[in-house]
């Protein structure tokens, strides 16, 4: 399964927060090109209460271990909102092509996206090292 399949599960809280972020950015005229794809993804996703999300699903502020399928090289990244993004520290914005492709994936699934340079990218979700909901934080 790839991230281009919009068969995702996200929390109701992530849905509301992302929807509101996209609405604020559109109203301010700062909507990113990625906003339409992210909007489609959250609209098509299965919504569950934060207490019901599987521990193997990427949610906002999940820290995950991902691997390049071509090289097997692994790295840790955290899915975050744009204001917390810092690629050098592995903080990946949900509004980036990579971030959008990760939201709602399960461990073992592959994120696929097209970068700003037009090159396709792929990363396999190997593990979720930290998920706020799994640790009992339903407000992250």
Q: What is the pLDDT of residues 10-32, one digit of tens each?
A: 999 999 999 999 999 888 887 66
Whether the per-residue pLDDT at 120 is higher than 90: the answer is: yes
Q: What are phi and psi of 23, to 5 degrees?
A: -65, -45
In a domain? residue 29 = yes
- The token pair at 51 is 């207490």
Whether the per-residue pLDDT at 3 is higher than 80: the answer is: no
Whether the per-residue pLDDT at 5 is higher than 70: the answer is: no
In a domain? residue 80 = yes
Question: Residue 32 is part of which domain span?
Answer: 9-133
On the CB side of 62, how many CA atoms lie within 13 Å of its CA? 31
Mean pLDDT of 120-137: 95
In a domain? residue 4 = no
In a domain? residue 47 = yes
Are the CB atoms for 47 and 11 separated by under 8 Å?
Answer: yes
What's the pLDDT score for residue 79? Answer: 98
| Average pLDDT, rounded, for the chain | 91
In a domain? residue 27 = yes
What's the pLDDT score for residue 28? Answer: 83
Domain count of the fold of the chain: 1
Q: How far apart are CA 120 and CA 101, in angstroms?
A: 12
- Residue 79's CATH number: 3.10.50.30
Whether the per-residue pLDDT at 55 is higher than 90: the answer is: yes
In a domain? residue 23 = yes
What's the pLDDT score for residue 6? Answer: 56
In a domain? residue 45 = yes
Whether the per-residue pLDDT at 2 is higher than 60: the answer is: no
Whether the per-residue pLDDT at 131 is higher than 80: the answer is: yes
Q: How far apart are CA 68 and CA 135, in angstroms?
A: 27
> Predicted confidence band at 140 (pLDDT cuts at 50, 70, 90)?
low
Whether the per-residue pLDDT at 67 is higher than 70: the answer is: yes
- The token pair at 33 is 């090109």
- The token pair at 65 is 């271990």
In a domain? residue 31 = yes
User: What is the model's pTM?
Assistant: 0.91
């Amino acid at each position: 399964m790839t991230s281009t399949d919009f068969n995702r599960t996200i929390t109701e809280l992530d849905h509301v927060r992302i929807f509101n972020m996209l609405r604020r950015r559109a109203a301010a005229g700062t909507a990113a090109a990625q906003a339409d794809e992210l909007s489609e993804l959250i609209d098509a996703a299965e919504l569950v209460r934060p207490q019901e999300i599987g521990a193997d699903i990427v949610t906002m502020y999940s820290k995950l271990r991902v691997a390049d399928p071509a090289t097997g090289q692994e790295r840790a990244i955290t899915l975050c909102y744009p204001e917390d993004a810092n690629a050098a520290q592995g903080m990946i914005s949900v509004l980036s092509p990579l971030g959008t492709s990760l939201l709602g994936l399960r461990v073992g699934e592959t994120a696929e996206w097209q970068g700003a340079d037009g090159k396709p990218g792929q990363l396999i979700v190997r593990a979720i090292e930290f998920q706020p909901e799994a640790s009992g934080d339903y407000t992250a």
